[in-house]
């Protein structure tokens, strides 16, 4: 019996209302970001701490353009349970005993919204006595309503305050495999479904 989850359309492209940042622009910007990061850590070894799951594709592309010694570590944070399109507050799971003491840690996330996720990670990592902690996000949402937001050291693109998917970012677990950063059709967002996302 086929137990695969299905949507009403056969192609995910049909669920996309608009492309916000296309794959070509993402590639070009990551090249620039990698240059800035390499310059910042010149002569050092950087530990990239990727916030799963949304940053996976960004991390994979970014790290392969970094011409410096780099280690990879991961942290799992869930903020958007099920079909939520506003953060419900981040909860964190680090891998068992990450060895970050004395490391130059670069926390990598897909998107900055309220800043709660980066703040949680920065606070947690800082308690592990690293040599330094910096942050990098592919997207930064325009949230004029949030005061004292933790601002990243490296930013790919500034985007409007709307819910986006693609290039690793999901809606209810789907759409991470879209090559562009997109906004979904209203009908898709209104379709209630179970599951989790991050």
Name the residues annotated as catalytic: 113
Please give the residues from 51 up to 80 whose contact with Mg ion meets the rule CB under 5 A.
54
Identity of the residue, 40 or 150, whose beta carbon is nearer to ligand 5GP in the bound complex? 150
Task: Work out whether 198 is an interface residue with Mg ion (CB under 5 A).
Answer: yes
Least distance (Å) between residue 107 CB and Mg ion: 11
Find all residues with CB under 8 Å of 136, minimum gap 6, and list them.
33, 37, 62, 106, 107, 108, 109, 152, 153, 154, 155
Out of 54, 133, 135, 188, which residue is the one contacting ligand 5GP (CB under 6 A)?
54
How many residues does this entry show for the chain?
Answer: 198
Looking only at the bridges linking them, the beta strands covering 181-184 and 16-21 are: antiparallel
Task: Work out whether 163 is an interface residue with ligand 5GP (CB under 6 A).
Answer: yes
**Look-up of token digits 């990598």:** 108
* Size of site (CB under 6 A) for ligand 5GP: 22
Q: In what helix (H) or strand (E) does residue 62 lie, and over which residues does it extend?
A: helix 56-63
Task: Work out whether 114 is an interface residue with ligand 5GP (CB under 6 A).
Answer: yes
* Size of site (CB under 5 A) for Mg ion: 2
């Amino acid at each position: 019996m086929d137990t695969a989850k299905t949507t009403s359309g056969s192609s995910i492209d049909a669920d996309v209302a608009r492309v916000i940042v296309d794959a070509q622009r993402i590639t070009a910007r990551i090249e620039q970001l990698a240059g800035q990061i390499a310059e910042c850590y010149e002569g050092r070894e950087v530990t990239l701490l990727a916030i799963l799951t949304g940053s996976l594709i960004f991390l994979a592309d970014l790290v392969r353009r970094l011409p410096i010694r780099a280690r990879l570590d991961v942290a799992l944070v869930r903020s958007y349970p099920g079909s939520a399109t506003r953060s419900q507050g981040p909860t964190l799971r680090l891998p068992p005993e990450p060895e970050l003491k004395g490391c130059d840690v670069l926390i990598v996330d897909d998107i900055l919204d309220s800043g709660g996720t980066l703040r949680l990670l920065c606070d947690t990592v800082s308690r592990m006595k690293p040599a330094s902690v910096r942050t990098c996000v592919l997207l930064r949402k325009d949230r004029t309503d949030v005061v004292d937001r933790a601002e990243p050291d490296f930013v790919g693109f500034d985007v409007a305050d709307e819910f986006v998917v693609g290039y690793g970012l999901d809606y209810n677990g789907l759409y991470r495999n879209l090559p562009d950063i997109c906004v979904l059709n209203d009908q898709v967002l209104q379709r209630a479904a179970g599951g989790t996302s991050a």
